[in-house]
């Protein structure tokens, strides 16, 4: 089998970290519909079981949507998993780039050697059934300033947006 690195996985422990989007009440409204079927703990053991047929030699955990106040705890939890289970091998963590303390948030995430980048989902759409947030963060000067601090901390940015937002992001 050809070895490969899985570039985008999500793990979560709903008893340890709060994920608002994976918490009741569940609804079919919004861009993802109801997530109730996946609202259960999913760790390295389940991931390895699901990918048993493949030769996974590494995996990058991408921000799984932990509540903002739990983002650093998610990184710490992932570090514990990686030390014990060997996965995930790299992280794209969360930091709210529009937070007034974003520099400190980025420094705290970057202090973890497995953290390679940041994802702050910015999907905004005028249609409430398609949007991920109430405003387009990408046009917010505070968000833009936070984005500008990523290089200072040696972090990449994983962009998740709608096509209509791309011209402004360029």
What per-residue confidence (pLDDT) applies to 44? Answer: 98
Residue labelled with tokens 């901390």: 153
Look at residues 166, 158, 169 and name the one whose alpha carbon lies nearest to residue 10. 158
pTM value is 0.94
Q: Is 148 helix (H, G, I), strand (E, B) or coil?
A: helix
What per-residue confidence (pLDDT) applies to 79? Answer: 97
User: What is the distance between the alpha carbons of residues 17 and 53, in angstroms, rounded to a whole number?
Assistant: 30
User: What is the distance between the alpha carbons of residues 35 and 163, in angstroms, rounded to a whole number?
Assistant: 24
Q: Provide the number of structural domains found in the chain.
A: 1
What per-residue confidence (pLDDT) applies to 40? Answer: 97
What torsion, rounded to 10 degrees, do the Cα atoms 39, 44, 50, 55 define?
A: 150
What per-residue confidence (pLDDT) applies to 43? Answer: 97
Phi, psi of 12 (to 5 degrees): -155, 150
Asked if 107 contacts 95 with a C-beta cutoff of 8 angstroms, the reply is no
Six-digit token string for 34: 């109801």
Q: Return the CATH number at 104.
A: 3.20.20.140
Task: Provide the domain limits for residue 108.
Answer: 3-169
Mean pLDDT of successive 10-residue stretches along the chain, which has 170 residues: 96 94 90 93 97 97 95 97 97 98 98 98 93 94 98 97 92
Asked if 144 contacts 135 with a C-beta cutoff of 8 angstroms, the reply is no
What per-residue confidence (pLDDT) applies to 59? Answer: 98
């Amino acid at each position: 089998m050809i070895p490969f690195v899985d570039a985008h996985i999500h793990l979560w422990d709903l008893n340890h970290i709060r994920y608002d989007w994976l918490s009741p009440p569940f609804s079919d409204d919004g861009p993802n519909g109801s997530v109730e079927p996946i609202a259960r703990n999913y760790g390295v053991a389940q991931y390895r079981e699901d990918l048993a047929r493949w030769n996974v030699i590494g995996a990058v955990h991408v921000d799984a949507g932990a509540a903002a106040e739990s983002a650093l705890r998610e990184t710490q939890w992932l570090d514990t998993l990686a030390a014990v289970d060997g996965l995930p091998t790299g992280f794209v963590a969360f930091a709210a780039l529009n937070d007034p303390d974003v520099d400190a948030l980025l420094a705290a995430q970057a202090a973890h050697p497995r953290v390679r980048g940041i994802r702050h989902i910015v999907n905004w759409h005028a249609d409430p059934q398609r949007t991920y947030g109430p405003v387009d963060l990408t046009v917010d000067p505070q968000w833009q300033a936070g984005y500008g601090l990523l290089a200072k901390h040696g972090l990449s940015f994983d962009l998740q947006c709608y096509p209509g937002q791309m011209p402004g992001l360029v």
